[in-house]
Amino acid sequence: MEREGEMGGSMDSVLRVEDVHKTYGDTHVLRGVSLRVDRGQTKVVIGPSGTGKSTLLRCINCLTTPDSGRVWLGDTEITAPRAEINAIRARIGFVFQSFNLFTHLTALGNVRIGPMRVLGLRKAEATRLAEEELRRVGLGDKASAYPAQLSGGQQQRVSIARALAMAPKLILFDEPTSALDPELIGEVLEVMVALAREGMTMLVVSHEMGFARSVADEILFMEHGVIVEQGAPQALFTSPSHPRTGEFLRKITELYGE
């Protein structure tokens, strides 16, 4: 299997992570993770809980700083000492497991505030953009609803719209459906599938194998802070080269179904 990581690479790489390590106290959460996501690709990270999947996403979004290793967004090194973190974050969408919609703002307000306050769009422009993004996730009619008046699935779709409104180069999804009731998962996955097909670049931590199978260019299996195996979904499912991968895939297929 091919391991990316060396400098260079094609012009199309949106995200490159090179040998990232992260320790919290005594726990070595990430032990040298390298990966690459090219423009328009969707990669899905799977693995047992506590293997550093969320930490990896947080390192990419500068919510935490890796101890060593480098992360690049396009040509910009995120891990550079003088990186403009706010500007970088503005170009990376982040979808949280717990949605984290701004509770004092309507759906429209949630989607509009980034373009307005960070990108400096005028209110009218930002509103138009926000309405468009809400329609894109199928919530054009919920613009004036507050988060508490929306179902979990709708909230998560608003949070995807909020990320989209920033016209990000890349969207990170941190277990976007884990906090949802089973009957609400479908509507969120539908939006994500549509995004992937439209060519959005996405790195998704999720155990939704149906989603992974239908749109992932590659599945990355992580355990104990390293990427154990990565490859196209079909290959990984039919002939995993690492016994742990097969074991884990069987387990989550049992749990989550197809």
Partner 1 sequence: MTVGLTFGLLAMGLLLGFPLAFAQVYGYRPLRWLSAMYEQTFRGIPALVLILIFHSGLARSFNILLPAFASALLALGLRSSAYQSQIFRGAIQSVGEGQMAAARSLGMSRFQAIRYIILPQAFRLSIPPWTNEFSSVLKDTSLASAIGVVELAEQGTLIMTTIQFELGARWILVIWLVVSLIYLVLTSVGNRGLGLLEKRVRIPGFEAREGTKP
| Inter-residue contact 26 to 49 (CB < 8 Å) | no
123 touches partner 1 by CB under 8 A: no
232 touches partner 1 by CB under 8 A: no
Residues 6+ apart with CB under 8 A from 62: 78, 83, 85, 88, 89
Smallest distance from the beta carbon of 59 to partner 1, in angstroms? 13
Smallest distance from the beta carbon of 242 to partner 1, in angstroms? 33
Residues 30-69 as b/e (b if ≥16 CB within 10 A, e otherwise) read beebbbbbbbebbbbbbbeeebbbbbbbbbbbbebebeeb
- The one among 47, 147, 153, 225 contacting partner 1 by CB under 8 A: 147
- The one among 92, 139, 191, 209 contacting partner 1 by CB under 8 A: 92
**Among residue numbers 51 through 70, which ones bind partner 1 (CB under 8 A)?**
61, 63
Smallest distance from the beta carbon of 30 to partner 1, in angstroms? 19
| Inter-residue contact 233 to 45 (CB < 8 Å) | no
Q: Which stretch binds partner 1 (CB under 8 A): 40-48, 147-155, 212-220, 232-240?
A: 147-155
* Number of other residues whose CB lies within 10 A of the CB of residue 180: 21
Single-letter amino acid code for the residue at 72:
W
Helix, strand, coil shares, percent, the chain, to 5: 40, 25, 35
Residues in the chain: 258
202 touches partner 1 by CB under 8 A: no
117 touches partner 1 by CB under 8 A: yes
91 touches partner 1 by CB under 8 A: yes
Q: Which stretch binds partner 1 (CB under 8 A): 95-103, 120-128, 135-143, 207-215?
A: 95-103
Q: What is the CA radius of gyration of the chain?
A: 18
Q: Interface residues with partner 1 (CB under 8 A)?
A: 61, 63, 86-94, 96, 98, 100-104, 113-114, 117-118, 146-149, 159, 162, 166
